[in-house]
Structure 1
Amino acid sequence: MTAVPPVISVVMPARNEGARVGATIASALDTAAGPDGIEFVVVDDCSAPDRRPEVGGAAARRRTTVIRSARRLGVGAARNLAARHARGRVLFVTDAHTGFSAGWDRTAIRLLAPGRILSVTVLDSTSAWRGHGCRLVVPYMGTRWNTAVPEGRLVQVASSAGTVLERALFERIGGYDEGMVHYSGFEPEFSVRAWRTGAEIVHTTDIEIAHRFKPREEVTAFLGAARTSIVHNCLRFGTAHLPESMILEMVRLHALEFPEHIRAALALLEERGAWRRREELAATLPHDFAWFVRRFGLLDQIGRPVPEK
């Protein structure tokens, strides 16, 4: 008897997450309306030996594929690798330290449509805070959470702990940008590129993901170690999409805030072909960034109109 392929593939990178992976998988299975239609694809992104993903019970192990990488991939490449191994028609992209709301799988199937990406509501597992997707900050190329449901439920940037779309659409968009390094900026860049591809990102409050946000001391240590990568990813994101007249302003802002990181970040920008990436997107995407600006009435971070060129 041929096994029925899963409908939904939950894909997640995991670096030094240990038992949190198993807790995430258990939450997804326990709350699913149809657990038999779900698989999990976990990429162990070069975790330390004592902090590799722990999947949990036998039921979870039957539904889980763990792909171990001996070299550091980063969020984008790890998600793409998981997606390539996924068998489901639908991808649910999440983190390895999340909890799922009841019936999340049934709701995802009900709300999805061709060309549509779902951005789910993200909860702070330690407070009453809720995030409803994000909005773009230009020319810095960061994001801010929407703390209220956006009018019309269309969001500029999906929730990185809960982005849901058909696998065929993920492939058409081209997955996450592997020219970025390690952490930060992957979901915003993917989201802007998705809009420029012709997809739409719709927020839903019918699926909620409880997320473990790092405590302050972990955030401080993480940012200190990852800052050059974060600056580079912002610069690459902006180089790929911003009008040329704003790119210099973007670089100036980061140079002023992070003078000890800007030189290495600019070197990475050149090494990883940022301008070539810009040319590729301009030649292949049906919409330019000016279209995205008009679509959302986007202003820059101090309230000025964003130039089209």
Structure 2
Amino acid sequence: MTSIIICFYNEAWSTLLRTVHSVLDRSPLHLVTEVILFDDFSDLPHTKQQLNDYMASYTKVKVVRASKRLGLIRARLTATRHATAPILTYLDSHCECTEARNSTTVVCPSIDFINGSTLWYDRSSYEYIGDFSWSLNFISILPPARESKRHNHTAEPLWSPTMAGGLFAIDRAFFEQIGTYDTGFDIWGGENLELSFKIWMCGGTLEVVPCSRVGHIFRGSRPYRFGGDVLRRNLQWLADVWLDEYSQIYFEYTSHKKINYGDVSSRKELRKKLGCKSFK
């Protein structure tokens, strides 16, 4: 939750309203505790009762006034004392907020280890990203040097080729656009790589956020059973739809014989419709 603080002095009527309405219209209001309009002792007529009357119908907006001219720094400090949210957002009174959300970025936390027997939380000393083997198993690796060079701070998100699949956040519209989870998959296995490949190949970005941390209990064995061919079927389906000519590497690497994994034509059609890039 945030308090948005807008200090002004003799701001033009239309400009001030444009600033406030851009905040109200383009912010997730459930995250906005209040918008504090702090009048730094303006003397133009529209900044007085006219402003009070106009803002009275907007319950999120509070008009607060200085009893003397303070200047920007003291005005912001005074306005801050009226704010109630844990996060403070400061804006000038002559700006416009836009809709610039990157809905195609999928984010994952850094995953720490929780001991399944003792529940001891062990924070990892390193930041890992996701990768995969040619047997189409998820693996964790350290970021390559080129990824580290792309950043100025260790808290910046890291591009990750794949994700483990259990912990992530994604925009609903983008998730639906790229076909959500593949309903042709059975039970468990390969769905994390399918989604990872799809994100990167169909216009998205997958990132690990180092300052977001979630502990996870890694089970020694699965608490449920399913047929031995389920995972193989899912991975062969995945290879056929998304790996292009590299699917042959999977079969050579695993020595798996092809099984009847079903009709993948609808997923290939979706890939074509979305204009997804090649696996290469």
Q: Deviations over 1:60-83 (max 9, x none)?
A: xxxxxxxxxxxxxxxxxxxxxxxx
> Which secondary structure state, in structure 1, belongs to the residue aligned with residue 180 of structure 2?
coil
> Which secondary structure state, in structure 1, belongs to the residue aligned with residue 228 of structure 2?
helix
What corresponds to 2:130 in structure 1?
134
Q: Deviations over 1:73-121 (max 9, x none)?
A: xxxxxxxxxxxxxxxxxxxxxxxxxxxxxx9xxxxxxxx7322111211
When normalised by structure 1's length, the TM-score is 0.47
> 2: CA distance between counterparts of 1:142 and 1:235?
12
Q: Do the aligned partners of 1:239 and 1:247 also contact (CA within 8 Å) in 2? A: yes
Q: Deviations over 1:204-245 (max 9, x none)?
A: 012111111112xx25x76x745321111111111111123x
Q: Do the aligned partners of 1:136 and 1:144 also contact (CA within 8 Å) in 2? A: yes
1:183 aligns with 2:188: yes
Please say which structure displays the higher CA radius of gyration. 2
Q: Deviations over 1:105-146 (max 9, x none)?
A: xxxxxxx732211121111112444773411333x3222113
> Which secondary structure state, in structure 2, belongs to the residue aligned with residue 145 of structure 1?
strand
> Which secondary structure state, in structure 1, belongs to the residue aligned with residue 211 of structure 2?
strand
Do the aligned partners of residues 161 and 172 (structure 1) sit closer, same or farther apart at CA in structure 2, a change above 3 Å counting? same
1:243 aligns with 2:244: yes
Partner AA of 2:254 in structure 1: H
> 2: CA distance between counterparts of 1:226 and 1:146?
30
What corresponds to 1:26 in structure 2?
none
Q: Do the aligned partners of 1:133 and 1:159 also contact (CA within 8 Å) in 2? A: no
> Which secondary structure state, in structure 2, belongs to the residue aligned with residue 248 of structure 1?
helix
> Which secondary structure state, in structure 1, belongs to the residue aligned with residue 231 of structure 2?
helix
1:209 aligns with 2:214: yes
Partner AA of 1:146 in structure 2: I
Q: Do the aligned partners of 2:109 and 2:214 also contact (CA within 8 Å) in 1? A: yes
> Which secondary structure state, in structure 2, belongs to the residue aligned with residue 158 of structure 1?
coil
Q: CA RMSD in A?
A: 2.9
1:144 aligns with 2:132: no
> 2: CA distance between counterparts of 1:255 and 1:189?
21
Gaps of 5+ in 2: 1-29, 32-85, 87-100, 116-121, 151-157
1:254 aligns with 2:254: yes
Do the aligned partners of residues 236 and 131 (structure 1) sit closer, same or farther apart at CA in structure 2, a change above 3 Å counting? farther
Structure 2 counterpart of 1:125, from 114, 136, 141: 114
Instruction: Output aligned runs, 1:65-144, within 5 Å.
Output: 113-126=102-115, 127-129=122-124, 132-138=128-134, 140-144=135-139
Q: How many residues were matched structurally?
A: 166
Do the aligned partners of residues 148 and 199 (structure 1) sit closer, same or farther apart at CA in structure 2, a change above 3 Å counting? closer
**Paired-residue identity, %:** 14
Partner AA of 2:251 in structure 1: V
Q: Deviations over 1:281-308 (max 9, x none)?
A: 4422323224xx3xxxxxxxxxxxxxxx
Instruction: Output aligned runs, 1:287-298, within 5 Å.
Output: 287-290=276-279, 293=280
Partner AA of 1:154 in structure 2: W
What corresponds to 1:166 in structure 2?
171
> 1: CA distance between counterparts of 2:191 and 2:214?
19
Higher helix share: 1
> 2: CA distance between counterparts of 1:159 and 1:122?
9
Structure 2 counterpart of 1:155, from 132, 147, 160: 160
Partner AA of 1:196 in structure 2: M
Structure 2 counterpart of 1:273, from 258, 263, 266: 263
> 1: CA distance between counterparts of 2:188 and 2:198?
18
Q: Do the aligned partners of 2:179 and 2:270 also contact (CA within 8 Å) in 1? A: no
Do the aligned partners of residues 235 and 200 (structure 1) sit closer, same or farther apart at CA in structure 2, a change above 3 Å counting? same
Q: Do the aligned partners of 2:109 and 2:209 also contact (CA within 8 Å) in 1? A: yes
Q: Deviations over 1:6-40 (max 9, x none)?
A: xxxxxxxxxxxxxxxxxxxxxxxxxxxxxx98xxx
> 1: CA distance between counterparts of 2:193 and 2:210?
20
> 1: CA distance between counterparts of 2:173 and 2:128?
25
Q: Do the aligned partners of 2:138 and 2:163 also contact (CA within 8 Å) in 1? A: no
> 2: CA distance between counterparts of 1:254 and 1:278?
24
> Which secondary structure state, in structure 1, belongs to the residue aligned with residue 161 of structure 2?
coil
Q: Deviations over 1:257-276 (max 9, x none)?
A: xxxxx56xx12x1xx313x1
Partner AA of 1:227 in structure 2: G
> Which secondary structure state, in structure 2, belongs to the residue aligned with residue 230 of structure 1?
helix
